[in-house]
Amino acid sequence: MIAILDYGSGNLRSAQRAFATSGVDVVVTSDRATALEADGLVVPGVGAFAACMQGLRSVDGEAIIRERIAKERPVLGICIGMQILFQEGSEHAENGNHKGVGVWEGEVSRLNAPILPHMGWNNVESDPNSILLKGVAGESFYFVHSYAAKKAVGQMQGWSFHGEKFLAVVEDGYVSATQFHPEKSGDAGLALIKNWVSAL
C-alpha cells in the first residue's frame, strides 16, 4: 500500500490517481500509524516552504519521515515535498531561513532566472544508474516552482536548467524526491511512479 501524506498541501487526488495506475492500493491519510506502516510514503507539496513545514508539523510529519527513514521504509517527496526535506529554505524568509526536515544538508533558494516561476515542461539530465528515471532518461517533466536546491546531495542526482542548474531528482537509499510533478508529467511521470513502486 502507498500512503500519500495529507498535511493540507498538494494535489492529493491527482497524486492518488497517478499512483493508483501502478496497480497498488493508494490511500490519502494524515494518520500516523498508516503513514508509518505503508510500503511507501509520498510527501506532496504545493505553495511556500514555510507553509508546507507548518502543515507538516501539524500532523507530526517531520517525525513520521524521520522514523520511516530510520526503519528503512521508502519516502518520495514531490515538488515542495522535495524542498522541505532539505535543511532550510529562503522563501519569504525575512529573519533568517525557514527550517526544513533536514534529511539533506543545504538550502533551497530562489532560482536566478529571468522568468519565474519556472512553469512548464523541461528535461532532466540523469545518471544512467537512476532507478526513478529508468526508461525515461531524457524525457521532459512538468515543473512549477521558483525555488530549488542547487548542490548535490544523496547518492544519485538528476539535474535540470532554468536560468541556472538545479536539482530535479535525488535518490538516496530509502529517500527519493523530484522537483517536478510526476503526476502531471504524462506517460513519463507515470513510468517514473511505476519505477518507484517497483523498487519498494
Strand-pairing partners, residue 141, are: 122
Q: Cite the active site residues.
A: 79, 181, 183
Extract long-range pairs of 47-50: CB within 8 Å, 24+ residues apart.
47/9, 47/80, 48/80, 48/91, 48/92, 49/80, 49/83, 49/84, 49/89, 49/91, 49/92, 49/98, 49/100, 49/108, 49/147, 50/89, 50/91, 50/92, 50/93, 50/98
Grid coordinates belonging to 33? 500509524
Other Cβ atoms less than 10 A from the Cβ of 58: the count is 11
DSSP assignment letter at 155: S
ω before 182 within 30° of 0 (cis)? no
42 and 15 Cβ atoms separated by less than 8 Å: yes
